[in-house]
């Protein structure tokens, strides 16, 4: 049955879902491009792990500086318009990644990249909450699965292009163009938000705020692990697992592939087992995966471990965002934006902390123990903190 033959109330959310899927895919494509070119940047400028962490901190710093204003800005201008506006600096930043002639000139570009990334992600996830509400069934994990699919495709394509000798500059420019086109084509099909509700009392508002902080704390831990996988898997595969250069990007692809599988099945699992059970199982799966990769640092074992880590991490953030969007008295967009602030601070600060710990200890394996601790904590306490079980 074609979309055109469906009644308008069904057809519009369906088109909006496809538009959101394109946004999430493009975001994953951009972030994977940044991830697989971290070793390229390190080699180009001859960076140590500590100096490389400074580049990651520039991305994190841009996002941290922007996160508070971005949340308020997205609620004020609307998620659809915010996505369209943020797409321009986001795409231009990745397209220009290989152009700076020195490390000093690269850092301001990475700062802009961090600001644009935060803006695009907050707006995109807030729009996803609106589309899920209009769709009347769980779709958040599937939308996040498109981000993972974009990461997997981006990592594999990027690795293949590098092996063929394609210029990293040309690769980055193509990814920026694709992201901009996906956003502009999808924009007309995005949905406006429902009018915001107002809390009944000051006590109710304080209770809602506390719930958001708890959910945001969990999201922070989850994104510490996820961000580490995006930024450090290629480095770990090459420097610790001693894999060939062409195989280094496979670690990123394995993690992203596990994320995609977990997220595309997450909505069905959430409906069948409930959010709390899914979150606990996800935590232990991710913990097992990162522990395996750290204990046995050989390419085949590391790839299995990163895949399990992807499966475990897959549905954490979608569960947290859905819970934030369903807090009574808080508009979904505002709840998503509030949790996103803490979540993406974790995603962008985690790699920096891991790099600093790796430098201090002289071992990236020691640095990545932080991931195991964060995911293990979610496995232990996450089900008790999660306030709702979406169905």
Average pLDDT over residues 316-345: 81
Which pLDDT score, from 0 to 100, does residue 199 have? 52
The answer on pLDDT for 322 being more than 50 is: yes
Query: Residue 389: which of 285, 280, 270 has the closest Cα?
Result: 270
pLDDT in tens, 8-20: 455 567 889 999 9
Which pLDDT score, from 0 to 100, does residue 151 have? 83
Which pLDDT score, from 0 to 100, does residue 349 have? 77
Give the pLDDT band (50/70/90) at residue 175.
very high
Report helix, strand or coil for 200.
Answer: coil
Residue at token pair 């904590």: 377
Q: Mean pLDDT over all residues of the chain?
A: 85
The answer on pLDDT for 362 being more than 90 is: no
Pairwise pLDDT comparison (310 vs 204), residue with the higher score: 310
The answer on pLDDT for 194 being more than 80 is: no
- Residues of 235-263 as b/e, b for ≥16 C-beta within 10 angstroms? bbbbbbbebeeebbbbbbbbbbbbbbbbb
The answer on pLDDT for 343 being more than 50 is: yes
What's 362's DSSP letter? Answer: T
Q: 305: how many CB neighbours lie within 10 A of its CB?
A: 26
Task: Say what the pTM is.
Answer: 0.80
CA angle 93, 95, 100 (to 5 degrees): 75
* pLDDT > 90 in the chain, percent: 34
pLDDT in tens, 123-143: 998 898 888 888 777 888 999
The answer on pLDDT for 201 being more than 70 is: no
Question: What would the two tokens of residue 123 be?
Answer: 């707006």
- Burial (0-12, 13-18, 19+ Cβ within 10 Å), 171: buried
Q: Where would I find the H helices in 136-244?
A: 140-163, 168-186, 202-239
Pairwise pLDDT comparison (247 vs 251), residue with the higher score: 251
Question: What would the two tokens of residue 34 be?
Answer: 């940044």
The answer on pLDDT for 347 being more than 50 is: yes
The answer on pLDDT for 94 being more than 90 is: yes
Average pLDDT over residues 245-255: 79
d(CA 299, CA 155) in angstroms, rounded, equals 17
* Domain spans, the chain: 10-192+201-385
What's 196's DSSP letter? Answer: P
**What class has domain 10-192+201-385?**
mainly alpha
CA angle 307, 311, 312 (to 5 degrees): 115
pLDDT in tens, 106-129: 999 999 999 999 899 889 988 988
């Amino acid at each position: 049955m074609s979309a055109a033959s469906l009644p308008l109330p069904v057809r519009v959310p369906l088109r909006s879902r496809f538009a959101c899927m394109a946004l999430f895919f493009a975001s994953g494509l951009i972030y994977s491009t940044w991830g697989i070119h971290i070793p390229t940047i390190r080699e180009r400028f001859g960076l140590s792990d500590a100096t490389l962490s400074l580049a990651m901190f520039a991305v994190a710093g841009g996002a941290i500086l922007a996160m508070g204003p971005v949340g308020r800005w997205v609620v004020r201008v609307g998620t659809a318009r915010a996505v369209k506006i943020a797409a321009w600096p986001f795409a231009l930043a990745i397209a220009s990644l290989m152009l700076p002639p020195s490390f000093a000139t690269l850092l301001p570009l990475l700062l802009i990249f961090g600001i644009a990334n935060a803006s695009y992600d907050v707006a995109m996830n807030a729009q996803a909450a609106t589309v899920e509400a209009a769709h009347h069934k769980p779709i958040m994990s599937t939308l996040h699965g498109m981000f993972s699919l974009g990461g997997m495709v981006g990592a594999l394509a990027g690795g293949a292009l590098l092996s063929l000798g394609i210029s990293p500059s040309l690769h980055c420019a193509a990814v920026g163009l694709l992201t901009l086109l996906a956003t502009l084509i999808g924009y007309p099909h995005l949905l406006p938000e429902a009018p915001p509700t107002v809390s009944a009392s000051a006590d109710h508002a304080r209770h809602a705020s506390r719930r958001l902080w708890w959910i945001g704390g969990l999201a922070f831990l989850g994104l510490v692990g996820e961000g580490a996988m995006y930024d450090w898997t290629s480095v770990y595969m090459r420097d610790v697992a001693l894999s060939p250069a062409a195989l280094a990007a496979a670690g990123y692809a394995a993690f992203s592939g596990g994320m995609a599988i977990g997220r595309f099945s997450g909505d069905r699992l959430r409906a069948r087992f409930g959010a709390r059970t899914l979150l606990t199982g996800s935590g232990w799966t991710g913990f097992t995966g990162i522990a395996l990769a750290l204990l046995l640092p050989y390419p085949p074992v590391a790839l299995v471990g990163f895949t399990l880590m992807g499966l475990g991490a897959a549905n954490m953030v979608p569960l947290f965002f859905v819970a934030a969007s369903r807090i009574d008295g808080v508009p979904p967009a505002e709840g998503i934006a509030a949790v996103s602030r803490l979540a993406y601070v974790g995603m962008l600060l985690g790699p920096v902390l891991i790099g600093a710990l790796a430098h201090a200890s002289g071992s990236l394996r020691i640095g990545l123990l932080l991931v195991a601790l964060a995911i293990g904590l979610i496995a232990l306490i996450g089900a008790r903190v999660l306030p709702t079980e979406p169905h």
